[in-house]
Structure 1
């Protein structure tokens, strides 16, 4: 039986609350596992497949490598642009 977006959103909210509480209690490994589960569920809700995620990661790595090279030429005072934007 397929789950509705509302049900999945409710599960996401619960997982995020669990992650917050565990983070406050310094249970790092479990927080990391929950973060992966949350990402996986968000991808399913938004219709993002593994190939798209891999392409994003590859692009971020290329961008980070070129940014690192150019940063060595620039001053460290300039703000860095964000690589990702969280979508809820």
Structure 2
């Protein structure tokens, strides 16, 4: 692991700690924004560029569009599940 990767890993750990605190304080919107930053740092560590992420999102949307609609238990008042999930 290079020095810059070690620095990014340290930043990532700090950001994840901050997100945990925000979630504990019920600051959902701030925690979600921080999740985007965490995703960006993870992408840099793994060598994934934005074009790769866009291709993944496009493929997921194509797959979702081609699946037959299923009856949903969610109403418009309930939040949608995210299409992407941040993983470690």
Per the normalisation by structure 1, the TM-score is 0.72
Q: What RMSD in Å do the two structures reach over aligned CA positions?
A: 2.2
Output the CA distance in 1 between the equivalents of 2:3 and 2:28. Answer: 30
Give the CA deviation at 1:50.
Answer: 0.9
Count of residues in Structure 1 that have an aligned counterpart in Structure 2 = 75
- 1:35 deviates by 0.6
Alpha-carbon distance between aligned partners in 2 of 1:70 and 1:30, rounded to the nearest angstrom: 32
Structure 2, unmatched stretches of 5+, are 72-83
Question: Larger Rg: 1 or 2?
Answer: 1
Q: State the 1:84 CA deviation.
A: 6.0
Rounded to whole Å, the distance in 1 between the matches of 2:27 and 2:69 is: 37
